[in-house]
Amino acid sequence: MDNFAAIDFETANNERTSVCSVGVVIVKDGEIVDKFYSLIHPEPDYYLYWNTRVHGLTREDTANAPVFSEVWKQVEPKITGLPLVAHNKAFDEACLKAVFRTYCMDYPDYEFYCTYQASRKLKGLRNHQLHTVAEFFGFDLKNHHHALADAEACAWIARYVL
Please give the tally of structural domains in the chain: 1
d(CA 65, CA 20): 9
What pLDDT is stored for residue 73 in this prediction? 98
Across residues 114-143, what is the average pLDDT? 95
Can you give the CATH number for the domain in which 147 is found? 3.30.420.10
Q: Which neighbouring-strand residues pair with 31?
A: 28
Q: Model-level pTM? A: 0.96
Share of the chain above pLDDT 70, in %: 100
**What's the pLDDT band for 35 if we cut at 50, 70, 90?**
very high
Q: pLDDT tens-digit profile of 42-98?
A: 999 999 999 999 999 999 999 999 999 999 999 999 999 999 999 999 999 999 999
- Structural domain range at position 98: 4-161
Predicted confidence band of residue 3 (pLDDT cuts 50, 70, 90): very high
